[in-house]
Structure 1
Amino acid sequence: MIRPLRHLASRPAALSVPAAALAASLLLTGCGGGAVAAPGHRSAAVPAAPGHPSAAATRSGTSSVPEVSLKGTRQQLPQELPGLGPRTLAEVPSGTRQAVVVTGRDKDSSQSTVVLYERTEDGWRAGASWAAHNARDGWSDHHMAGDLRSPIGVFGLTDAGGLLPDPGSRLPYSRSGSFTVSGTGFEGEQLAGSFDYVVAINYNREPGTSPLDWIRPMGSSRGGGIWLHVDHGGPTHGCVSVSEDHMKDLLRALDPDLNPVIVMGDADSLSR
């Protein structure tokens, strides 16, 4: 079980990083593992998001995440996030009013779905269900660097960035040339553009810093650089990826005042 409630760090905010070095380092950590600056460098351009939740890095639970129609204002809405078991629900901070639920097809699958939920007075309202990729070898409740599995857990979402200009993010947004990536993925697909837009997942990183920040409170062996980013058409090294349009939708929707989190894992693990 992933237990650290400490805020976890991703990668350093570099001024520029050669694409070759970036691609090589992707093999060693999460998808964002290569977009780095000098170790320990902190991004002064990204203030801590007000009211951000703790990064509750623990095991989670969800079986399926049915979409709730957004039509109608007084519909019957679920009072708890659909598909999540008691252990997972216990890890969702009580003050959270936005949750990105990522449900993997199974423990060893790289395919998943993403649904953004928002808590209203009537219960949890669901957005559309989006197809997504996760790590090549599936999911782990004890993620390690290079294991090619995405970490299972409930993690804060406090910081964003990318190679392209801010599309209207409510989260602090750090634009940098260090989000450049090249090369090919596991299925021969081009990686260019994958980091045009990213949201850092607060696994082994420190919230309130650029997604490029290098600090890793649990140590480098536990990996890092776990992001939401633009899908390149194949499995990731540890991140969750959705289409470019959906990444822009997330960036515009995620509101630090609503203490957003991501709940991620395979369906069976999340349902516990």
Structure 2
Amino acid sequence: MAPVNLAIVLLVLGNLLASLSDVAVKVLDGGVSPFQYIFLRQLVSLALLFPFWIRQPPTLRNLSNPKITVLRAHILLIGSCCMVVSITYLTLATANAVFYTAPLLMIPLSILLLNERPSAKKVLQTVIGFIGVLIILRPSQFHWAAIFALGTATTLALYNLLVRKIPNDQSVITTLFWTTCLSLPVAGGLAWFYWQPLSHNEVLWIALSAGFIISYNGLATMAYKKAPATQISLAEYSGLIFVVLFGVIWFDEVPDALTAAGIALIILPLMPKTWLKNLRGRR
């Protein structure tokens, strides 16, 4: 499989798992403070990563670019806190519609940070997707939590792009382990101020969310190391399909006609060329 195609597959699978993590946050329904949630999620993630990290040869366990890793760790904290707030107060579809402006933001950011040059076709696809996001969000019905969702999108775009600054010889496990580890001091300090008792169910949902999101981070890290961001970032939109389905199934969040139209504008540019040719042939 070509590197670009493999990267797209990895991103689609990662977004499925990230969508399940969003479901776990939605189930918590604001019962756990964002700082407490983030600290516990990072702690569980570190416990899941440690057995894989320690089995590597000593040379592969070393951190190659500490400055970038520290920066990514704290970008992750900011984005995660914004994510908890936005999912709590918005529907899954609406929150994720704003999250998926991340690929749109990655186009100009990749130009500024990585000197990549997207094709005119990629720019057009991005514009179409952005129109779809605006239709879903509907500025006339703007909710303050959408600002936090936009914060999540911005941090996600930066988090994914900065992985290109990490040497390719550093393993994905090592990258995730140190990113998670370096986020714990600040996350722990903030959680301490907002600590409250937790039920067993809340701990379980946090643990599930941690497992899903660490899997997404790993798959996204592999994907963006295999191909330029401008060639694969639109695959991030696949998660929007998953969250809409999960919202309907588990939370009775049925999208209306405008939301469906916006989703269609987001999804159509992602369809493989062969699918589009088949659709035209049938017509």
TM interval, short-chain normalised: under 0.3
TM-score computed with the length of structure 1 as normaliser: 0.24
Bigger-Rg structure (1/2): 2
Q: Identify, as 1 or 2, the structure richer in helix.
A: 2
Q: Identify, as 1 or 2, the structure richer in strand.
A: 1
Greater relative contact order (Cα 8 A, min sep 6): structure 1 or 2? Answer: 2
TM-score computed with the length of structure 2 as normaliser: 0.24
